[in-house]
Structure 1
Amino acid sequence: MENLTYTFPARKAINKRVHVGVVGSGDLEIIMEPSNCLESEVIVRTGINGFKETWEAVLHRFFTKHGIAAHVKINDFGATPGVVTIRLEQALEVSSHDESIKK
C-alpha cells in the first residue's frame, strides 16, 4: 500500500461534499470536500506501488484545468489514468449539481 499526498493551487471552491466510485478491481473511489483554502490537498491510497509520477501528472492536469479548492481522498484499486480522470470529472460535476432542481 502506498500513500501519496499532493497540493495544487486553486481559484474557486466546490459547493458540497461528494463521493463517487467504488474501491474494486480496476476502479477507485473519490471523496471530495470543499476547502476554505486557495489550494487543493489530494491524498491517494493505492495498492499499486511505483506510479507516483503518473499520479502527479494526471492530478496536475485536472487541477490546473479546473482550479478547484478541495480536500480530496482517492482510494485506488488499480485504476488506469483514464479512469482516474473520468472519476475526478464525475466528482466535480456532482459537486456543482443543484439538488433543488426538480425533474
Structure 2
Amino acid sequence: METLDLTFPGTRPVTRRAHVGVVASGDLEVLLWPAETTTVRVRTSVDGFGAVWRETLARFFARYPVAVRVEINDAGATPGVVALRLAQALEETES
C-alpha cells in the first residue's frame, strides 16, 4: 500500500463535489471537492509507481487546470482508467 500527496497549479475552481468509480480490481474511486488549490492524495494497492502517477496526473491537470481537492483510492488501474475517472468526476462537478 502506498500513499502519494501531490499538488498542481489550478486556476478554475470547481463548484460541486463528485464521486465516481469503485475500488475494485483494475479500477479506482475518485472523489473531488471544491478547493482553492489543487491537491491530490492517491492511495494505491500497487507500490513503486509514483513516477507514473505523477506524470499521469500532471498531464491531466495541464489539460484541465482546475482548483480542486482530489482523493483517489486505487486497486491497480491503468493510466487510461485514471484519466477516464478523473474526467468523469470533473464532468460531474459541472452538471
* 2:3 alignment partner in structure 1: 3
Q: Deviations over 1:40-59 (max 9, x none)?
A: 00000001000000000000
Partner Cα separation in structure 2 for residue 66 and residue 11 of structure 1:
9
* 2:68 alignment partner in structure 1: 70
Aligned residue runs from structure 1 range 70-89, under 5 A: 70-89=68-87
Partner Cα separation in structure 2 for residue 88 and residue 58 of structure 1:
11
TM-score (norm 2): 0.98
Indicate the RMSD between aligned Cα atoms, in angstroms.
Answer: 0.5
* 1:45 alignment partner in structure 2: 43
Alpha-carbon offset, residue 70 of structure 1: 0.5
* 2:56 alignment partner in structure 1: 58
Alpha-carbon offset, residue 11 of structure 1: 1.0
Aligned residue runs from structure 1 range 5-24, under 5 A: 5-24=5-24
Alignment: residue pair count: 95
TM-score (norm 1): 0.91
